[in-house]
Each structure stands twice: as structure tokens, then as C-alpha cells.
Structure 1
Amino acid sequence: MNGNIAVRLANVSRAFGTTAAVNGISLDIAKGEIVSLVGHSGCGKSTLLRIISGVETVDSGRVFLDGGEVDGATFVEPEARGVGFVFQDYALFPHLDVRDNILFGLKRRPKAEAAALADDIIDRIGLRHLADRFSHTLSGGEQQRVALARALAPRPAVILMDEPFSNLDQGLRDRVRDDTLSLLRSLDATAIMVTHDPQEALSVGDRVVLMRSGEIVQAGSPYDLHDRPENAYAAEFFCAFNKVPGQWRDGKFETILGSFAVSPGAQATGSATLYIRPRDISVSLDGGDMLARISERVFYGETEQLVLFVEGLETPLRAVVSERLPTGTAEVRISIRPERLAVF
């Protein structure tokens, strides 16, 4: 096994009754890599996290951590795996102060070593001023930092995070997430984060693993999954596309909006659907390939969404523009940017 691999899942499956929560998943995670596990509720991502931690056991397949097998032919108890876990509700002990919450995760270490590790992580995460406070007196963001500190203090081989920011308000969530990511990178930590939020998955992960029905739909860099989806499910998970019907002809995809050279081109035949991102519709008052009528405008501050009717197209198009059109504009010219189109 490659010495740079922190986590290896080899054809791992786990069922509950007749439901396959995880079905034949194989995945390698490198040391120092941050991976986002993303998908809708019930797709198996949290079960996969629990398998890695040892809370759930596999029905088949094998799990390796830092080169050693921990489930499959042999089983290693959760507390002996060198895994840190940050729960969605943080799971802090209300009767313990911050320092003792962190020390709880170090109870298997000699007392002097535990104290030194706790002090180190308290300083790294900036919790010194909170060390003597009880957890129930802390804000949501402070509780999240304490939970992360407790998971990181033993210097685990991998940190597992299950929806760690979902209990925070949006503005605080963004700041705490950025701080957490910065800390994990400064420690060169290996981390797996479960989320159902597409934007969070793309912004956090060095690699994103999209799951559905217990299986991996697509895995790759955030840019791969957003810009180069391999199927309709992956495309629609990360973006609200415009979908336009059409036909393959002579290696191009023909629609009422025009003919487009889209991969796989010459290998494709028959009917399919063109997927167009709202930002890939260029809008202008005078230059463009076709006329469109504005039926609705929704202002978001930095951007504006336009609902556009094009003659011959049954479903209106949605375009997102950064430059504001004059008040009262009823018609515009539009063009489709061809670089990131997809056909499924």
C-alpha cells in the first residue's frame, strides 16, 4: 500500500435490512488531503464516515488507515484507530470547561503528555481566553472550535467531520469554515467532511466525492465536478441548469438556440438535452445571436437573474448577469457561451 495513503476503502459495503447504505465503494485519500463527501440525505455519506471511524462495521470489503487494516479481515476498535470526530451537534460535555473537554479526548495519554497536547491545540486554535469557560456559555462558533480542538488534540491520522457548520448562521458559518480550513491546512491534517451543501463541498474540498444511493457518482477536483460533470445527476447537483432539447447531427448538437460542438460530438446520435448554466448566457442590448423577451428580473445585489422567453422555446431561460440593465428594459439580445456546455 502506498505510504502516502491515509485512508483506503476497498469495495466497502454496508446494508441495513434490505437497504444498501454503502454499496461497493472504493476510495483512496492521501495524507494531508481534505475531501468533501457530498450528496442528498440518505445517500450513504454519514454511514461511510461511521465505517471509517469504526462505529459501523462493513458487511464486505476492507478499510485501511495509515496502511493498517482496521475493518474487513480484522477489526480495530474505534478508540484505537487514531481518528478524530467532529459531530454535527459538537457533543461537548456541559459539566466540563473547555480545557477538560479537550483533555477528555486525551484520557488514554499520560497526564503530562495530555496536558501538553491540550495546551498546544488551545494556543493553535486561539482558545486560551475561553479555556476555563463551560461549553454551554459559549457561542455556536466557539463550541465548534472547541469540538475541533478536542478532535485534533490527539494528533489523529484523519479528522472526520459530519456537517460541522450546519448549526451556524450563514455569516458565522462562512467565517468559521474558513478558519477551520486554514487550521487544517496549517497542520497538514487529513480530513473528510460530510455536507449536503454543494457550494460548501466545492469551497472546502481538495477533492469532492458526490454520492447517490450508497455509491460514488463522480469524484474529482471541485473544478472537475462543477465544470465537467459526467452525468445529469452530477450536473444538476451543483448548478441549476437551463435544459434545452435537441438532436445530434454530424458531430454537433443542434437546438433551436443554435448548433454546438459539445463533447462527445461525433460519437453521439439521437435526441438528448443541452445543459446551459445561467452564467453562460451572454445578455446585451444590441449584440447577440437571438432576441429574448424579459418576463422577470430578480435582483440579488451583485448579480441579477433574468427570466427570458425565446421564440420557439417552450421553457424560459434563466440568465445570471453582473451588469445591471436599464430599468424598463423589455427585450435583449442573447448568445450562448460554448465553453462549458454539456449534453446528457
Structure 2
Amino acid sequence: MEAEIGRGGFLTFINCYNVKWATRTQDVFTIAKVLALVIIIISGIVWLVLGHTEHFEMPDVMENSKTDPGHISLAFYSGVFSFAGWNYLNFVTEELKEPHKNLPRAIYISMPTVTVIYLLVNVAYFAVLSPDELLESNAVAVSFADRVLGPVAFLMPLFVAFSCVGSLNGTLFASSRMFFVGARDGQLPELLSMINLRYVTPMPSLLFLGGLSCVMLISSDIIALINYTTFAESAVVAVAVAGLLYLRYTRPNLERPIKLNLLIPISFFVMCMFLVVFPFFVSPDEVLVGLLMIISGFPVYFLFVYWQSKPKAIVEPWVRLTHSIQKLLWCVPGEGEAKDV
């Protein structure tokens, strides 16, 4: 846990200090991750060409699989976690050049690319490792490398670390902007809408998110952590899409710079509900933790946003705390749009 907290603290510092450092960090670790995946794909293809197909034959590869809707939805959780970056660009549209053009373009290019890469990586894994070996491995990529990469297998743990660091950096960079914009629009405490005067970064939002990330390290069970966060994300996204569908029905003439065929958000909403409902029948404890994570935001919203006539006993200490943090972090409320990066 100490190592994870250290990485989180270091990446939080980078994001607080310099936006371009954060984006360059993301570029470097993304390239490293894709390079590792390409190595795995090529190695798997070579392994199959050499005739090693004993682990890649039907129906053996599907033996002992659970096909009920609850377990299928939980299996999707790991996939959703792997693809979680698909929605991060929506959080940083103010920092994109020509977002109305580049945001759809980035999604159209990245989603099929990532899908093909992960599909081929899983083909490589199943070509080299048996289903039991996949389930028992703490890091499948490392087990794969030990089997087929020989003297260079020691590089794979390094690539796995790069992947983890890149994922965490992307989450910090994008989600902090969501907190920042939410606070600026009056949906979160004003403190989170502050920008550091020197570095022009949403420092309070980044520090708050970095602290929350460390608190969430309550378990070393990666599957449980994935289930917590994926349920919470799927539930929140389902509610957001339901709101968009409602607006499309009640206010069809609103200006929509990016507008899709209605079948796409409807299909997406149905998929989100599948991920939200069926896990209750298989893993209710983990789902309830995710639900509690969502509900924990209600008292914060009620206390700091919805309740307008708060007594001085609450307002004055909070104002003093806000001013103190402003002075400490040298921050002022953010206005307007962020600069392009």
C-alpha cells in the first residue's frame, strides 16, 4: 500500500505543478503500455504458428465458465475498468483544441483500436496459458512473459508498472477537471473550483482527488476494488444518460454541438442498467459498497450546495477554512475556459 500511495502522491505533484508535464507523462506511459501489448500479441501469434494450440481449443477453453447474467455482468466489470478511459476526454473538453471536432474523432479512432488490441492480447494469453493458469496468476502479463519471452521476461513487470502509472495519471488529470467544473457550476463546494495562480492548475481539486485515491486503498483485492468502482461508475453514467434522454424528449430544440442518433444512447443506457442490476444477485456486498460510495455524496451536496440558508456556525468556519487553503495553495476561483494543451 505504501508504494501505491507514493506513486499517487508523485503523480498528484506532477499534475499540480505543470499541465504539460502531466500530458507528457501520459503520452510516455501510454506508448510504453501499447508497446508491451504489441510484444504480447506478436509473441502469441508466433506461439500459435509454432503449433502450440493445446490451450486454445474449444470447448476446453470454456470449461467451468459461468454463463448466468449475474456472472456475465461481473465479468464485464473488469472489461469496463480496462476501457474506463473512454469517457475521460469528456472531462477535459475545455483543454482540447476544437473539441466539437476532435472529441468524436478521438473516440472513433481510439475505441476500435483499443478493442482490437485487447482482443488480440486475450487471444495471445489463451494461446500460451491454460484457463487455470490465467485465474491463478497475480499478473497475467508477467506469467505470459515468463513462459515465452525468455531472457527479456524481466521487462514485463516494468511495463505492467508503466500501465498502472499511466492509468492513475489519466484518472487524476481527467477526474480533477470534472470536480473543478462541477464546483465552478455550483454543484460542488467552491473550494474545488480554485486554480493555482502560478501553475494554472486546479490544485485543490487534484489534492482532494489524490487524497480520495489513497483512502480508497482499503483493500488489496483488486477484483473487489474494480467491482466497487465499476458499479459506481456504471450507476452514475446510467443516471446521466437517462437525464440526456429525458432532455432529448422534453427539450428537443436545445442546441447540441455533438448530436447522435437516439438509438445509440438508448442502447448504452440498457447496457449500463445490465451492469447495475444483475451484479446484485451475485455479489451484493461489493455492489452495496459501490452504492454507499454514491450515497456518501448526498450529505455533502445537501450541506454545501443545496442548503442555501446555512447558519453562521457552519458558514463562518467553512469560509475561514476555504480562505486558509486559498492562501496556502495560492489559489483563486477559476473563471472562463482553460487553455488549450
TM range (shorter): under 0.3
Greater share of strand: 1
TM-score using structure 1 length: 0.24
Report the structure number with the largest CA radius of gyration.
1
TM-score using structure 2 length: 0.24
Greater share of helix: 2
